[in-house]
Structure 1
Amino acid sequence: MPYSRPTLTQLRQQAVQDVQSGGITGVTALLRFSVLYVLAMVLAGLSNLHFGFIDWISKQAIPATATDEFLESWGALKTVYKKAASAGSGSVSFPVSSAETIPTGTTVIAGGVTCLTTDVSVTTNGVTVAPCLAQTAGAASNVALNALATLGSPVEGVQTSGTVTTAFSGGADEETDDEYRVRVLDAYAAGGENGNEQDYINWALDVAGVTRAWCDPIGMGAGTVVIFFMMDDARSSDAGFPQGTNGAATSESRYTTATGDQLTVADAIYPKRPVTALVIACAPVAQATDFSITGLGDDNTSDNQDAITSALSDMFTRLSEPGGTIAPNQWYEAINAIGLTSFVVASPTAAITATGSGYMPTLGAVTFAT
């Protein structure tokens, strides 16, 4: 059974009792401001700190309860490291008077985020477009399309105000302890790495920005391993779908080289895989399904509509996978949790099944009726 740690009040009472029954001649009671009473309170407080320290040490002794650098040390023993925050990137455009360009390294404020241009801008038809990288890492560095962009310092011939022409994406916050702990515990539960399906999934999840991954052994023939993955935070503007082309690692000569996010994942897995495996990193293909919700009656309010849409979106995030199926009872269970008086899912009426191994069911438009 767990150890019952005494409270500070109990420790104070115990200290007073120990003094009173400690055999000191003439001591039968303690006045509140007496020297012995004050000493008893001090000793009780010190004992409470010691109990707290030992309690904290015991939590760091196993990865299931460890925190901060102690959790990272447990993870390092299994070569599982916390994902660092990443910065978003995109492009901005500014009107120009002629054929002026914006130099590399120019400061741009895009949607309130400080960025630097990573290359000389390209000017056509009175507009110059420059690629930018946010200078602060995290999900907040993902800037929406058409957001206001402002030059940090004037550039001759270029207007000060412009717009974001390619939404900033790729920004992700540092992995939290709770998210990281799941991967660490999975690594300890799996034992040694040997190239099984879970190993490939874990290798993909180790990549910054990757939030979900699936392994399809021999997905493209004997000797191949297909990795599907999603980036729900870093690619939130693209509904979480990776941006790039499917393919293999840079050093893999047996298959077309991937680009973008797929190349990042393929390159990360390449040195870890069993040497004969041909690993192909792929983005799932979205298979959107529209929902029609009727029979809401008085519950047909904007708040309930938002709650239903959020519940369905969460359901797809939790349950959908490439080549997978989502059954009617699963979406009824998701909506039931909201606590509506009544509702009917008019469509779809049958299980949502992926049309191919790489297709993944996603939420389409949701319509409502009383």
Structure 2
Amino acid sequence: MPFPRPTLSDLRARVASDITSGLPTADGLLRFSNLQITGKAVAGMAYLNYGYLDWIARQGVPYTASGEFLYAWGALKNVYPKPSTVASGQVTFPGTPGVTVDAGTQVVRSDSATFTTQASTTVGAGGTLVVQVTADVAGEAGNTPVGSLMTLGTSITGVQSTGAVTTVITGGADQELDGAFFDRMLAAYQSTPNGGSDNDYVTWAKNVPGVTRAWCMPNGFGTGTVVVYTMLDDANAAYGGFPQGTNGISPRDNRVTSGNLAAGDQLTIANSIYVQQPVTAMVYSCSPIAAPIAWTITGLLAASLTTRAAVAAAISGVLFDQGAPLADGSSVDISDVSAAISAIAGTQGFVITSPAANIPNTLGYLPTLGTVTYG
């Protein structure tokens, strides 16, 4: 049975009762009585002590811990907050063959975000300079899609100052928030490591900065293989959360070939898992394929744009929670989508006419929000 923490008013009443019962000949309840003022001070101190004891109790178990104590509980399970990471990719500039651009040259994005070249590079015979750049500031803001305009920070003779991103600049992630760290820490206490079970691969993938969701498919590409699907919902929000790169395995695996080598986000994840996985497994780091689901909803034809946006968000929330790129018999339940929409004000009387049944999850494909038609 939980201990009911007394309120400040209760404590003041108790102290006042103690004063009047201990000094029956004195009136300690007058507004400016020294006894009343002293009693309120004592009650206030007792209230603070109760609050401190309550805080101590919350830090004493992983489920309610916060701040440095939350991190301490995580450390006992070898779970630590994911640090921010820097984005990297390739930028191409036209130039005169033979001209060299030194490492450390600054490249500027159109919004003034800066990047730095990582190695000295020479303009090729075709008049193209391809430089590997890394964002100067860690975080998701460094991620940049293909085609984005880039300029040299200082002019270089023989190289055109204006270029473009030709290989997506990705890998940037913000420092993990306490809420996400709490979920991983609690999962570590609930799931005992089993030397390479499905849950182990999911845990290892989620430990990679930027990764928010992960799934494991044993023998997905044949006997002895393990396929790990991941999503980076925050870091790659511009791409719907899908990893940007090439599906494949880590180059540290001696079975790697030019046809199964991972790249981009998938490479980062594959390398992180490789140092923890069983030595015999061939682990493929993969991005799910988006499978947009179209919806038809009647009864909301007159709904405002705000309401429609809330409906779309509600559907996306259920797809986020229940969608999975696995053929494990799971599905996205229409009843849960209806319940999520029903919780939105002004949606009374709606009916979901399509899809007409629960949406089964399919191996390799992740259900996403498609077109929503109102009738």
| 1:303-358 deviations in Å (ceiling 9; x for gaps) | 45544443443333222222345465565555555554566667655665566x3x
**How far apart, CA to CA, are the structure 2 residues paired with 1:102 and 1:246?**
31
Letter in structure 2 aligned against 1:188: Y
Equivalent residues in 2 for 1:216-227, closer than 5 Å: 216-227=217-228
Letter in structure 1 aligned against 2:39: A
Letter in structure 2 aligned against 1:170: G
Whether the 8 Å CA contact 1:89–1:133 is kept in 2: the answer is: yes
In structure 2, relative to structure 1, the CA distance for the partners of 1:224 and 1:11 (3 Å cut) is same
Equivalent residues in 2 for 1:187-336, closer than 5 Å: 187-256=188-257, 258-260=261-263, 261-275=265-279, 277-289=280-292, 291=294, 293=296, 295=298, 298-299=301-302, 302-324=305-327, 325-326=331-332
**How far apart, CA to CA, are the structure 1 residues paired with 2:337 and 2:156?**
54
Q: What is the aligned partner in structure 2 of residue 4 from structure 1? A: 4
In the TM superposition, residue 59 of structure 1 has moved relative to its aligned partner by: 0.5
| 1:232-268 deviations in Å (ceiling 9; x for gaps) | 2223333323234334344433454642333333333
Q: Which moved more, 1:254-263 or 1:122-131?
A: 122-131
**How far apart, CA to CA, are the structure 1 residues paired with 2:144 and 2:291?**
25
Q: Please, what is the CA RMSD of the aligned residues?
A: 3.7
In the TM superposition, residue 62 of structure 1 has moved relative to its aligned partner by: 0.4
In the TM superposition, residue 200 of structure 1 has moved relative to its aligned partner by: 1.9
- Secondary structure of 2:189's counterpart equals helix
Unaligned runs of 5+ in 1: none
Q: Which moved more, 1:190-199 or 1:67-76?
A: 190-199
TM-score by length of 1: 0.80
Letter in structure 1 aligned against 2:324: E
Whether the 8 Å CA contact 1:249–1:270 is kept in 2: the answer is: yes
- Secondary structure of 1:298's counterpart equals coil
Q: What is the aligned partner in structure 2 of residue 137 from structure 1? A: 138
Q: Which moved more, 1:36-45 or 1:98-107?
A: 98-107
In the TM superposition, residue 56 of structure 1 has moved relative to its aligned partner by: 0.8
**How far apart, CA to CA, are the structure 1 residues paired with 2:71 and 2:273?**
21
Letter in structure 2 aligned against 1:195: G
In the TM superposition, residue 186 of structure 1 has moved relative to its aligned partner by: 1.8
Equivalent residues in 2 for 1:328-347, closer than 5 Å: 338=344, 340=347
Whether the 8 Å CA contact 2:139–2:174 is kept in 1: the answer is: yes
Residue 362 (str. 1) matches residue 367 (str. 2): yes
In structure 2, relative to structure 1, the CA distance for the partners of 1:44 and 1:148 (3 Å cut) is farther
- Secondary structure of 2:301's counterpart equals helix
Letter in structure 2 aligned against 1:366: T
Letter in structure 2 aligned against 1:267: N
**How far apart, CA to CA, are the structure 2 residues paired with 1:348 and 1:30?**
69
**How far apart, CA to CA, are the structure 2 residues paired with 1:12 and 1:336?**
45
In the TM superposition, residue 166 of structure 1 has moved relative to its aligned partner by: 4.9
Whether the 8 Å CA contact 1:352–1:361 is kept in 2: the answer is: no
In the TM superposition, residue 299 of structure 1 has moved relative to its aligned partner by: 2.8
**How far apart, CA to CA, are the structure 1 residues paired with 2:176 and 2:339?**
30
**How far apart, CA to CA, are the structure 2 residues paired with 1:167 and 1:58?**
48
Whether the 8 Å CA contact 1:227–1:279 is kept in 2: the answer is: no
Q: What is the aligned partner in structure 2 of residue 66 from structure 1? A: 65
TM-score by length of 2: 0.79
In structure 2, relative to structure 1, the CA distance for the partners of 1:34 and 1:305 (3 Å cut) is closer
Question: How many pairs does the alignment contain?
Answer: 366
**How far apart, CA to CA, are the structure 2 residues paired with 1:160 and 1:35?**
79
**How far apart, CA to CA, are the structure 2 residues paired with 1:327 and 1:46?**
52
In the TM superposition, residue 74 of structure 1 has moved relative to its aligned partner by: 0.8
In structure 2, relative to structure 1, the CA distance for the partners of 1:300 and 1:112 (3 Å cut) is farther
In structure 2, relative to structure 1, the CA distance for the partners of 1:341 and 1:95 (3 Å cut) is farther
- Secondary structure of 1:198's counterpart equals helix
In the TM superposition, residue 70 of structure 1 has moved relative to its aligned partner by: 0.7
Q: Which moved more, 1:293-302 or 1:59-68?
A: 293-302
Q: What is the aligned partner in structure 2 of residue 51 from structure 1? A: 50
Whether the 8 Å CA contact 1:246–1:280 is kept in 2: the answer is: no
Residue 39 (str. 1) matches residue 38 (str. 2): yes
- Secondary structure of 2:368's counterpart equals strand
- Secondary structure of 1:232's counterpart equals coil
**How far apart, CA to CA, are the structure 1 residues paired with 2:89 and 2:166?**
8
In the TM superposition, residue 14 of structure 1 has moved relative to its aligned partner by: 3.0
In the TM superposition, residue 79 of structure 1 has moved relative to its aligned partner by: 1.2
In structure 2, relative to structure 1, the CA distance for the partners of 1:30 and 1:297 (3 Å cut) is closer
Q: Which moved more, 1:359-368 or 1:48-57?
A: 359-368
